[in-house]
Structure 1
């Protein structure tokens, strides 16, 4: 089911399947890319309870092996509507018999979308509903529309950083890195940057990035309290994904144990986890 929310400046449509953002519109311009399966079949999937790919698409927990596909299962599940108003919708996904077959934990996942002036605020809420620690990752994957030449675009970060990207090999980290060329903490975009896979930054000081087309600021993403950031596109595709994460793909050397996976969150019994992503339209 498609849900629409709006305020005086913005409107957004969202799908109950995956609680997925499908459009974000200001002045009749949509800032989320529209699906072309030649390149990709998603617009803004929710990554839960893992981010990226597990080594061998599996993990172990208490001596039992479970299989999970890349980015987990939330992006393909039907969410219920927890709450809705003109400018906000909150989606809910709870553990079930089918989720426990691949992820043996009791959880509540809420994704809230709220329009505030020229911003879309996306909140990611996880509650541990069990009597043991909940190991999980969660991440965002919005794909922003690119109009015209990809090479006209750049990413301007809000702090002086060492832009060290961590390399993926068959979607697992292989331990090698590259320092990105930047000018005034800005990365000039071109498709060659993504020939192998995403750019992944693990240690940024920045918590905001502006997508610019030439000298024009298009939109700003605030990812405060997300420790990792992925940037991704497909060759010649008219989109750019800006992906704040609380979690990472496996390393090629990982032993498969979910408990000591790099970047995993350990949420104590009965406690809550909350992160907020803000997308501000600047045009």
Structure 2
């Protein structure tokens, strides 16, 4: 099943499977979200929960008990329930169940709240800890922006001038190796060579937004003020770019395995809720 929300400027369509945004069109019917061709990557904009990235050996511990979780967690592969709908907004909910408790021993509710205002789509995450104990988690976004022109016709512009230090992945884990993304007049021209070692992972940024330019003109802006970390990723020759606001990231090679000690993890107190939001603005 799918749900569509609209206003006079935008139309967004969301699958109930994974509560995944799969289409964002302007009033000229131009599509801004990657189509999901599996020859490159069969997703569009999955939610990453209750982890972001990869665990060391795909396992973690709570106390002495070991659990397995796949890359980016399980929420993206589960069916959400539509619990509220207006013309320009929709709320989707995923509740913990027997299946999730085997992989992640916490009772929770995850809500994704989509709202269109003018030319902006807001995507809010609400995490509710229904357990009687503290709950460790990460959450992140993975929207793939469609790039209809040649890849080299696009560039990034970060909100602030800063040293763009990113971490390299080794065997899908965060290594100690870093590089600096070179800028020219605060711009980063897109080049597939940037992604030869997989994603660019920024643990911290001063910028709270990033603008994609198409032929030197503003195309899309992604705001991620609530998210300290950012991933940027594509596949060679793929006509999309993923701008990924994250709260958390892959394990480091020396991670202890204890989820409460994981670098970048969030800890939510019993019966409390956590909210964060990012937005995609059509320019």
Under a length normalisation based on structure 2, what TM-score does the superposition of the two structures give?
Answer: 0.98
Residue aligned with 1:29, SS: coil
Residue aligned with 1:259, SS: helix
Displacement after TM superposition at 1:185 (Å) = 2.2
User: Whole-Å Cα distance in 1 between the matches of residues 264 and 248 of structure 2?
Assistant: 5
Instruction: Map residues 91-240 of structure 1 onto 2, 5 A cutoff.
Output: 91-240=92-241
Match in the other structure for 1:71:
72
User: Deviations along 1:209-235, whole A, 9 cap, x unmatched?
Assistant: 101112111110100020100000001
Displacement after TM superposition at 1:116 (Å) = 0.5
User: Deviations along 1:59-97, whole A, 9 cap, x unmatched?
Assistant: 011111100000000000000011011111100001101
Match in the other structure for 2:253:
252
What stretches of structure 2 of length at least 5 have no aligned partner? Answer: none
Displacement after TM superposition at 1:152 (Å) = 1.2
User: Deviations along 1:231-255, whole A, 9 cap, x unmatched?
Assistant: 0000100100000000110011112
Match in the other structure for 2:51:
50
Displacement after TM superposition at 1:130 (Å) = 1.0
* 1:10 matched to 2:10: yes
Under a length normalisation based on structure 1, what TM-score does the superposition of the two structures give?
Answer: 0.98
User: Whole-Å Cα distance in 2 between the matches of residues 216 and 260 of structure 1?
Assistant: 43
User: Whole-Å Cα distance in 2 between the matches of residues 172 and 188 of structure 1?
Assistant: 26
Runs of 4+ aligned structure 1 residues displaced above 6 Å come to none
User: Whole-Å Cα distance in 1 between the matches of residues 49 and 204 of structure 2?
Assistant: 22
User: Deviations along 1:107-165, whole A, 9 cap, x unmatched?
Assistant: 11000000101100000000111111110000000000011210111110111111001
* 1:40 matched to 2:41: yes
CA contact (8 A) 2:155 2:216 kept: no
Displacement after TM superposition at 1:184 (Å) = 2.4
User: Whole-Å Cα distance in 2 between the matches of residues 234 and 170 of structure 1?
Assistant: 17
User: Whole-Å Cα distance in 1 between the matches of residues 186 and 261 of structure 2?
Assistant: 33
CA RMSD of aligned residues (A): 0.7
Residue aligned with 1:204, SS: coil
User: Whole-Å Cα distance in 1 between the matches of residues 139 and 166 of structure 2?
Assistant: 20
User: Whole-Å Cα distance in 2 between the matches of residues 187 and 241 of structure 1?
Assistant: 15
Residue aligned with 2:152, SS: helix
Match in the other structure for 2:21:
21
User: Whole-Å Cα distance in 1 between the matches of residues 89 and 182 of structure 2?
Assistant: 40
What stretches of structure 1 of length at least 5 have no aligned partner? Answer: none
Displacement after TM superposition at 1:54 (Å) = 0.5
User: Whole-Å Cα distance in 2 between the matches of residues 128 and 265 of structure 1?
Assistant: 12
Displacement after TM superposition at 1:179 (Å) = 1.0
User: Whole-Å Cα distance in 1 between the matches of residues 201 and 186 of structure 2?
Assistant: 16
Residue aligned with 1:197, SS: coil
User: Whole-Å Cα distance in 2 between the matches of residues 2 and 11 of structure 1?
Assistant: 13
Match in the other structure for 2:263:
262
